Amino acid sequence: MSPRMMALGDAVAAMVRSRDTVSIEGFGQRIPFAAVHEIVRQRIGELHLVRMGVDLVGDQLLGAGLVATLTFSWAGNPGLGTLRRFRKAVEDRAPRAVALEELSHGALLAAYRAGAAGLPFALTRSFEASDLPAHSPLLAPIACPFTGEPLHAVRAVRPDVTILHGQRADRAGNVELAGVIGAERFAAFAAARTLVTVEELVDALEPRFGSAIVPAEVVTTVVNAPGGARPSGVDGYYDRDDEAYREWDALSRDDARFERWLAAL
């Protein structure tokens, strides 16, 4: 079945449901801001958000009170520091309490890969002396069956829906990613359905140096959304808008300004 091409509002309404486990990936680049803003506009809530680097999109969903559970490995404004809405959610439980399922980058990447491979868990050596396993429901101690070495199991992540932004898609729904390649492909393979926004639709994708493909078999819906990753960058199309990241820091630390941003979105 070839992936459906849809308008953004329709695609989000059809594919993202209240209480879904929603993975949003793109490691500092190709971040699907337009799709996330559509979730906020439609006020789709009680979400279980899964994201390695919870940056501005995570801050916006948390600030809007749409996230009930957060699986993550880092939460900051890249290059600038703290995320104000994330901190308010965790420290003050405002606008609502959020359950944290916390990992490291390597462990969350492994959890996606286990989910994509149909395995129940992945293995990690990252938490030997860490306090995190005592607080993270995704981690459990396990011994190597061959040597007895103490390790940790990381529960597999299987999103209901994964949301990505790519450079280009062809008519069949194959999606090209270029630049920094993070968990995107594994998050798509691990998910029940995947929504991808792209800069450009083309008839056919010719192989390009340094790019990766999310194959049509794991792409449910493609949305043509030029600029859909702004203010993050998309290689070959536009660079990160540093000023917008600084502006978010100023806006998000002020409750009234944040509420006005939310109302005007």
Partner 1 sequence: MTTSVDDAITRAGAIVARFRTLFVGVGVAGRCAVVAKSLNPELTVIFESGIIGASLTSPPRSISDRRLYERCRYVAAQDELFDCWLGGRRIEAAIVGAAQIDLNGCVNTTVIGGYANPRARLPGAGGAPEVRPLLASVVVIPQAEGRIVDSVDFVTYRLPEDVERWLVTDRGVWYARAGEPRLAPEVP
Name the residues that contact partner 1, by CB under 8 A.
Answer: 27-29, 53, 72-76, 78-79, 81-83, 86-87, 90-91, 102-107, 109-110, 113, 125-132, 135, 179-183, 186, 210, 212, 233, 235, 239-240, 242
Yes or no: say if 77 and 89 are a contact pair by the CB < 8 Å rule: no
Least Å distance between CB 135 and partner 1? 5
Least Å distance between CB 182 and partner 1? 5
Closer residue to partner 1 in complex, CB, 39/178: 178
If residue 89 lies in a helix (H) or strand (E), which one and from where to where? helix 84-92
Length of the chain counted residue by residue: 265
Least Å distance between CB 126 and partner 1? 4
* Cα angle 191-225-72, degrees, rounded to a multiple of 5: 40
As a dihedral over the C-alpha atoms of residue 196, residue 45, residue 74, residue 232, rounded to 10 degrees, the angle is 40
Closer residue to partner 1 in complex, CB, 81/148: 81
Residue 169's CB is within 10 A of a number of other CB atoms, namely 26
Q: How much helix, strand and coil, in percent to the nearest 5, is found in the chain?
A: 30, 30, 40
Yes or no: say if 61 and 47 are a contact pair by the CB < 8 Å rule: yes
Q: How far apart are CA 56 and CA 139, in angstroms?
A: 26
- DSSP conformational letter for 158: -
Least Å distance between CB 85 and partner 1? 11
Least Å distance between CB 214 and partner 1? 12
Least Å distance between CB 104 and partner 1? 4
As a dihedral over the C-alpha atoms of residue 24, residue 80, residue 250, residue 236, rounded to 10 degrees, the angle is -60
